Amino acid sequence: MSDPGWRPPMLATLTGDRFSDENWIFERKLDGVRAVCARDGGTPRLWSRNHKPIEASYPEIVDALAAHGGPRFIADGEIVAFEGEQTSFARLQQRIHLTEPTRIEATGVRVYYYLFDLLAFDGHDASRLPLRERKRLLRDAFEFTDPLRLAEHRNGDGAAYYRKACASGWEGVIAKRADSPYHGGRSRDWLKFKCVADQEFVVGGFTDPAGSRVGFGALLLGYYEGDRLRYAGKVGTGYDVSTLRSLRARLEDLRQDDPPFAEPVPERGYWVRPELVIQVGFTEWTEEGRLRHPRYTGLREDKRAAEVVREA
């Protein structure tokens, strides 16, 4: 942890239990990029959840943190872009990998940083305080002017909020134990209620394109079960021509002779080192453990392949 201010983010666990409890708070699940921000008297810093610096990709957020936060803080939040009223990871993809201001501006994609937790402020560690207290401190620690926004929450009535989330087309709801401290890593003090089926997968291979298509036909996907990469099926939709070409170039650099999967794969294709992580939406899992109607939604540079497991 060589970067001053960096803290491993606290991560939610997926659950199928939708509940209401006065000892929990409930927030909208945002479809964006997790980001920890910190400042120690100088220019604010931004990191992805796997500790990659991302200030250059979001200069307007860095400027806003400098203008509307104190001289010393550590906070947690989510960077998002909107498609209409919905947060859209696919739209955010248009500028995730850009670092040149002129190219960023040319995309026309506006981003917002929703802050939902405060880990430290003015030299004082807040991570051991109960979540509700951290929320109160967060509200006073920043001036919330776009692109900085405060992530609102609801107390107690999680089941009704989940129904509202799904009816509104949101990703879902994050439930958080109101008296919990902040600690890095996966926790059952934070839970995910998902309205849609989507998760990250590791790319283990690809197939040839057919007809006039460029790049590749489909990506062959897997997830880890212990140290074994289990085959989850293929995804052949959701790409534009630019994505097909750029991903094919990345795949060529990862080519290997042997399949990385733990079981035989019915598809004929090419194998790659299991390092690329992508986000995929789908309708359900089949009885055979394959994805039904999968669709590519974006590349995840903020998650290591070894962390990708089947969410259940």
pLDDT in tens, 22-50: 999 999 999 999 999 999 999 999 999 99
Confirm if 89 and 297 have CB atoms less than 8 A apart.
yes
Domain ranges of the chain: 8-30+153-195, 31-150, 198-307
d(CA 222, CA 234): 9
CATH code 2.40.160.10 for 198-307: no
- Give the per-residue pLDDT at 223: 98
Which run of H or E residues covers position 137?
helix 131-141
- Give the per-residue pLDDT at 169: 87
Which run of H or E residues covers position 132?
helix 131-141
Q: Which amino acid is at 177?
A: R
Q: Locate 45 and state its tokens.
A: 């810093």
- Residue in the structure block whose two tokens are 């059952």: 188
Q: What positions carry a catalytic annotation?
A: 29
CATH level 3 topology of 8-30+153-195: Dna Ligase; domain 1 (3.30.1490)
Q: What is the DSSP secondary-structure string of 231-299?
A: EEEEE--S--HHHHHHHHHHHHTTEESS--BSS--SS--EEE-TT-EEEEE-SEE-TTS-EES-EEEEE
SS3 33: strand
What predicted TM-score, i.e. pTM, was given to this entire model?
0.80
Summarised one tens digit per residue, pLDDT across range 129-139 is 999 999 999 99
- Give the per-residue pLDDT at 1: 45
d(CA 236, CA 106): 29
What superfamily would CATH give domain 31-150? DNA ligase/mRNA capping enzyme (3.30.470.30)
Under-50 pLDDT residues of the chain = 1
- Residue in the structure block whose two tokens are 């999680």: 158
Contacts of 189 (CB under 8 A, 6+ apart): 10, 176, 177, 180
Contacts of 32 (CB under 8 A, 6+ apart): 78, 79, 80, 81, 87, 89, 92, 114
> For 20-24, which contacts have Cβ atoms below 8 Å and span 24 or more sequence positions?
20/156, 20/157, 20/158, 20/159, 20/160, 21/156, 21/158, 22/155, 22/156, 23/177, 23/178, 23/179, 24/156, 24/158, 24/175, 24/176, 24/177, 24/178
- Give the per-residue pLDDT at 2: 57
